Amino acid sequence: MSLASEFKEFAMKGNVVDLAVGVIVGAAFGKIVSTLVGNVVMPVLGKMVGGFNFTDLALSLGNDPAGKPVAITYGVFLQSIFDFVIIALVLFMAIRGINRLKKPAPQAPPPPPPPSREEQLLTEIRDLLARG
């Protein structure tokens, strides 16, 4: 088998194609959630805690040799954490819903089978012996 045909067989397997689609949809979903967090959630949260923008939070380290300010922008890091938490929560809820749809409805256990002929005879003998 040639390298090209082996690669074609690998690339056309169902799992690889499903994974590729999942990665593309996941990337688009991540952009949507990042926009939601950055433009809707964070401004509201910033307003509630004092009216500032989280992405503006930074720790100044001074200036570099060219005179440009150097800062640790931990607000951007906080923004990324909020993005991750919201994406994880939404994915959890989506997967939870999908799993509920997949589960079959709980079924009542089947009725016990009727006693065998031997069990019936033994029960009759027991009852006769108990009567005396």
Query: Residue 102 is which amino acid?
Result: K
Averaged confidence pLDDT in the chain: 83
Count the domains in the chain: 1
CATH code of residue 90: 1.10.1200.120
Asked whether 112 and 72 are in contact (CB, 8 A), the reply is no
39 within domain boundaries: yes
Is 115 inside any structural domain? no
Q: pTM of the prediction?
A: 0.49
pLDDT in tens, 61-81: 888 888 888 888 888 888 788
Domain assignment present for residue 83? The answer is yes
| Per-residue pLDDT at 116 exceeds 90 | yes
Say whether pLDDT at 118 is over 90. yes
Q: Is the pLDDT of residue 14 over 70?
A: no
pLDDT of residue 126: 92
The residue range of the domain holding 83 is: 3-104
User: Is 100 among the domain residues?
Assistant: yes
Phi/psi-derived region of residue 2, left when phi > 0, alpha when psi is between -120 and 50, beta in every other case: beta
